[in-house]
């Protein structure tokens, strides 16, 4: 039997559960490894219009992974993975500009290229935040600047005017005085890749639940884990003592109503030109809580 593969995904919970032995306590036979090459940045230079959805299409190298709920929703509806419906996450996110930028208000972002990941959380979240202020035609998104850390670096180096980032990069830019123009907090979801044992999936999430409780109680003890995934060039200037806990796992169902409402929202904005898939919630989602 293959080992259950665990890969952290820009959040603290897997790091906490690993180092505190929670996966071992659950009896999970697993391998823990980084798959996104975040510390080198290589895994974030994917090219134009290549983002979270495309990485799911190609197949991810771990048994459970995460992405924004919109992308997981569509990927599951298209048969590329199964949406784990017994929990979801919420991640702080925002659109940031340099401190010297003339952009002060959300309306000032009209026609300004905002670097986001294609069909990734920042893509949807930017639209969701800004459509309160302007029509979709006035929201200008740039998909050529890579995934999370790549976009953060470009803003840090003043090579792009605005980016949408979440979790660790959100706190880092905030620490350095970059200005958040508007909050873009969004929901994330987990997906099951391949066919891991259902009991292993339960063990994994029981361990994460313990880790989440630890983070809720004493977040300042665990924010140092962000450094494990950050590009090394920034380690010397990071002060994670000032940072927040980031993505929070909510152990409540990702329901059929949420699935269907999200499908409609995505379709109305034409984010997937070929449609959002034909998979019904019952075929796209997996629930293990009642078993």
Q: What is the DSSP letter of 178?
A: P
- The hierarchical CATH code for the domain 93-183 is 3.40.190.10
Question: What phi, psi does 181 have (nearest 5°)?
Answer: -80, -40
| 81 alpha carbon, distance to own chain's centre | 16
pLDDT computed for residue 37 by the predictor: 57
Q: CA separation (Å) from 46 to 36, 52, 67, 143, 190?
A: 11, 10, 16, 10, 22
**What is the pTM assigned to this prediction?**
0.92
pLDDT computed for residue 43 by the predictor: 52
pLDDT-derived band at 147, boundaries 50, 70, 90 = confident
**4-89+187-286 classified as CATH 3.50.50.60:** no
Name residue, tokens 């599951």.
Answer: 76
Count the Cβ atoms, other than its own, within 10 Å of residue 250.
13
Cβ contacts of 265 within 8 Å, gap of 6 or more: 70
Strand 82-91, strand 285-286: pairing: parallel
Q: Is 27 left (phi over 0), alpha (psi -120 to 50) or beta?
A: left
- Mean pLDDT for 81-101 is 97
Count the Cβ atoms, other than its own, within 10 Å of residue 183.
14
- 183 pLDDT above the threshold of 80: yes
CA distance 47 to 213: 37
Burial 82-98 (b: 16+ CB within 10 A, else e): bbbbbbbbebbbbbbbb
Cβ contacts of 228 within 8 Å, gap of 6 or more: 8, 15, 34, 39
- Mean pLDDT for 147-162 is 95
CATH 3.40.190.10 in the chain, residue ranges: 4-89+187-286, 93-183
Cβ contacts of 236 within 8 Å, gap of 6 or more: none
Q: For 236-281, what is each residue's pLDDT tens digit? A: 999 999 999 999 999 999 999 999 999 999 999 999 999 998 889 9
pLDDT-derived band at 62, boundaries 50, 70, 90 = confident
């Amino acid at each position: 039997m293959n080992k259950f593969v665990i890969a952290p995904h820009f959040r603290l919970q897997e790091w906490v559960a690993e180092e505190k032995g929670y996966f071992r306590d659950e009896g999970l036979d697993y391998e823990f490894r980084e798959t996104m090459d975040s510390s080198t940045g290589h895994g974030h230079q994917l090219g134009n219009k290549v983002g979270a959805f495309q990485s799911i299409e190609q197949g991810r190298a771990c048994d459970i992974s995460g992405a924004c709920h919109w992308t997981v929703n569509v990927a599951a509806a298209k048969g590329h993975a199964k949406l784990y419906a017994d929990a979801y996450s919420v991640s702080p996110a925002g659109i940031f500009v340099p401190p010297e930028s003339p952009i002060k208000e959300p309306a000032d972002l009209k026609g300004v290229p905002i670097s986001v990941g294609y069909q990734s959380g920042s893509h949807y979240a930017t639209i969701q935040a800004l459509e309160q202020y302007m029509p979709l035609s006035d929201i200008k998104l740039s998909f050529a600047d890579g995934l999370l850390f790549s976009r953060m670096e470009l803003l840090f180096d003043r090579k792009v005017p605005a980016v949408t980032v979440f979790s660790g990069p959100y706190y880092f830019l905030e620490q350095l005085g970059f200005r958040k123009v508007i909050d873009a907090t969004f929901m994330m979801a987990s997906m099951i890749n391949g066919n891991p044992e259902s009991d292993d999936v339960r063990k994994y999430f029981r361990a994460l639940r313990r880790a989440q409780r630890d983070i809720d109680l004493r977040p300042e003890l665990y924010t140092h884990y962000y450094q494990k995934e950050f590009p090394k060039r920034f380690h010397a200037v990071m002060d994670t003592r000032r940072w927040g806990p980031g993505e929070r796992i909510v152990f409540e169902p990702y329901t059929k109503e949420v699935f269907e409402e999200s499908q409609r929202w995505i379709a109305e904005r034409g984010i997937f030109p070929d449609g959002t898939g034909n998979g019904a919630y019952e075929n796209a989602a997996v629930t293990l809580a009642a078993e």
